A and B are shown apart, each in its own frame.
Chain A
Amino acid sequence: MRVALLGFGSVGQGVAKILGEKDLDLTLTAVADSKGGIIDPGGISIPEAFSRKAKSGTCGRPKLSALDIVNSDAYDILVEVTPTHIDDGEPALTHIRKALALHRHVVTSNKGPIALAHRELTDLARRQGVALRYEATVCGAIPIIHTLQHGLLGNEVKALFGVMNGTCNYILTRMEDEGLTYDQALGEAQEMGYAEKDPTYDVKGLDTALKLVILANTVWGMDAGLKDVKVTGIDLITPQAIQLAMDQETAIRLIGEAIPSKDLLRVSPRIIPRNHPLLVEGTLNALTVVTDLAGELTFIGKGAGSVETASAVIGDLLFIRERYAGRP
């Protein structure tokens, strides 16, 4: 099948790299970043796209935009990996709506449109007879959406909770290990490239809240939004609070939690015992799913990173290829 890639940053380059290296029976026919795009029905040369990006700042040509690619008939599956904007979900929301309307499958790592318009987009995809998959939006490399939609079929999911933001987990881990203040640990995370220059979205718990909304809407068919989540971030945590937790063989971590029977969607720093399965170090993510048949399941893995996140995107692409390739 033919793939168009919108966004050629960390995730987009990871996807392109894997498509170039592995023989997956998928052809990259279009690619765009914010400054330009390119279409080649015969298949794009991936090394050339990388070298154009390095030399000129765009992987394509300035004349062609992402929207031109969406409206073209050069692709079967759109991979939308442009930046997340939580207020309006754009430009991804427009890209995804258009592609679905044109009967194209969509794979995205972009939390904005999925958190804001899950119901609209999944309904649209169903009506159009195409797939909308978004494994990479939650917990990077951990195949949690696939597990919830397919692996746990027949189970009732009673609750979900976990560590879903690597930036916060890194900051709290460093405060604990080195006795750093919040500001020192944040500065270090920024130097390491784990935190953005403006860290608000991560440290205030909004990123975790978006992921929680996506999970809740996926599992329970809720139509929840950010406004339905009670959110407290980690920016007020003191080294003394961490010490007080450590004195009792516990630690503080930012936990997202969804319990529909209690009508609860909450993101907050919490005290967890040292030997708890959710107590992961550094930028790792961990997620516990509580079900009626399978009991409790905990998944641990990398929540971000170029190739790790691309792994989730590639999984979605191959899922679509297996289900739909060769169909009219």
Chain B
Amino acid sequence: MKLEMKDTPGQLVSVLGPISKCGGNIIAVIHQRDPESESDTLDVQIVLDLPAGRLPALIGQIKALGVDILRIGEERLLHKRSLIMIGHIMHTDISDTVDQIDRTGFAEVSELSLMMPAINERSSARITIKTANRIDMESAVSILREVAGRKELLVVEPLEEWT
């Protein structure tokens, strides 16, 4: 997500505490001139990773410091992962499979491509999941693994980069 505020001295530093207290992880800090603003001051934009459900607490703490938040960015779900499922995907209720991810509240299925070669043959699907952060992604993927296991679907996962 993105937080934008006026870059008056000390403001940037003051929000770091609340961000880390809420389990947030700063990805980038960008200074930019707001084209709509008459004044000469710069806006600062903070791109950060925040665990699901922590946003209201963070906003509250930042406001309590007297810092004005200009905008909160749209980009809620930063992490994206595509997996491939193989098996009787339709007959095992695909919409339920998707719903198991969507109903978590912290992950959603953003894309699904299904290929069915012939009736009664195993089909294949690529499912793309979005979450706000890596921990949520791991939880979402393990839910998918569990659901697929129950439905006897094979899940092909990406090889994660070593970090």
Binding between chains A and B: yes
* Of A158, A241, A257, A290, the contact of B86 (CB 8 Å cutoff): A241
CA distance A138 to B86 in the complex (A): 30
Chain A residues within an 8 Å CB radius of B162: 158-159, 288, 290, 296
**Interface pair B117/A271, CB less than 8 Å apart:** no
**Interface pair A244/B157, CB less than 8 Å apart:** no
Known: A238-B124, A271-B159. A245 touches B154 (CB 8 A): no
Which residue of chain B has its CB nearest to the CB of A161? B159
**Interface pair A271/B82, CB less than 8 Å apart:** yes
Which residue of chain A has its CB nearest to the CB of B159? A270
CA distance A290 to B126 in the complex (A): 29
**Interface pair B159/A245, CB less than 8 Å apart:** no
Chain A residues within an 8 Å CB radius of B116: 240
**Interface pair B82/A252, CB less than 8 Å apart:** no
- A252-290 CB contact bits vs B (8 Å, 1 = yes)? 100101000000000011111000101000000000101
Chain B residues within an 8 Å CB radius of A268: 156-157
Chain A residues within an 8 Å CB radius of B83: 271
Q: Which of B68-91 touch A at CB < 8 Å? A: 82-84, 86-87
CA distance A117 to B21 in the complex (A): 50
> Could you say which interface size class chain B belongs to?
20 to 34
The answer to whether the Cβ of A149 comes within 8 Å of any Cβ in the partner chain is no
* Of B86, B113, B117, B159, the contact of A237 (CB 8 Å cutoff): B86
Chain A residues within an 8 Å CB radius of B156: 237, 241, 245, 252, 268-271
**Most A-side CB within 10 Å, residue of B82, B116, B123:** B82
**Interface pair B157/A240, CB less than 8 Å apart:** no
Chain A residues within an 8 Å CB radius of B94: none
Chain B residues within an 8 Å CB radius of A158: 162
**Interface pair B158/A247, CB less than 8 Å apart:** no
Chain B residues within an 8 Å CB radius of A244: 84, 113, 115, 124-126
The answer to whether the Cβ of B122 comes within 8 Å of any Cβ in the partner chain is yes
The answer to whether the Cβ of A294 comes within 8 Å of any Cβ in the partner chain is no
**Interface pair B122/A248, CB less than 8 Å apart:** no
**Interface pair A238/B82, CB less than 8 Å apart:** no
**Interface pair B113/A241, CB less than 8 Å apart:** no
Chain B residues within an 8 Å CB radius of A247: 113, 126
Taking the closest CB of chain B, its distance from the CB of A20, in whole angstroms, is 43
Q: Which of B49-107 touch A at CB < 8 Å? A: 82-84, 86-87
* Of B115, B154, B157, the contact of A243 (CB 8 Å cutoff): B115
Chain B residues within an 8 Å CB radius of A240: 115-117, 123-124
**Interface pair A248/B86, CB less than 8 Å apart:** no
CA distance A43 to B89 in the complex (A): 64
Known: A159-B162, A161-B159, A244-B113. A271 touches B122 (CB 8 A): no
Which residue of chain B has its CB nearest to the CB of A255? B159
Chain B residues within an 8 Å CB radius of A271: 82-84, 156-159
* Of A159, A238, A290, the contact of B117 (CB 8 Å cutoff): A238
CA distance A290 to B122 in the complex (A): 37
CA distance A271 to B84 in the complex (A): 8
Chain B residues within an 8 Å CB radius of A245: 84, 126, 156
CA distance A158 to B162 in the complex (A): 10
The answer to whether the Cβ of A24 comes within 8 Å of any Cβ in the partner chain is no
Taking the closest CB of chain B, its distance from the CB of A211, in whole angstroms, is 17
**Interface pair A270/B158, CB less than 8 Å apart:** yes
Chain B residues within an 8 Å CB radius of A290: 162
Beyond A238-B123, A255-B159, list 12 extra A-B contacts (CB 8 Å): A161-B159, A236-B122, A238-B124, A240-B116, A241-B86, A244-B113, A245-B126, A257-B159, A269-B154, A271-B82, A271-B83, A276-B159
Seen from chain A, the residues whose Cβ lies within 8 Å of a Cβ on chain B are 158-159, 161, 232, 236-241, 243-245, 247-248, 250, 252, 255, 257, 268-272, 276, 278, 288, 290, 296
10 shortest interchain CB distances as A-B pairs? A240-B115, A240-B124, A241-B124, A244-B126, A271-B158, A270-B159, A238-B124, A272-B159, A241-B84, A269-B156
Seen from chain B, the residues whose Cβ lies within 8 Å of a Cβ on chain A are 82-84, 86-87, 113, 115-117, 122-126, 154, 156-159, 162
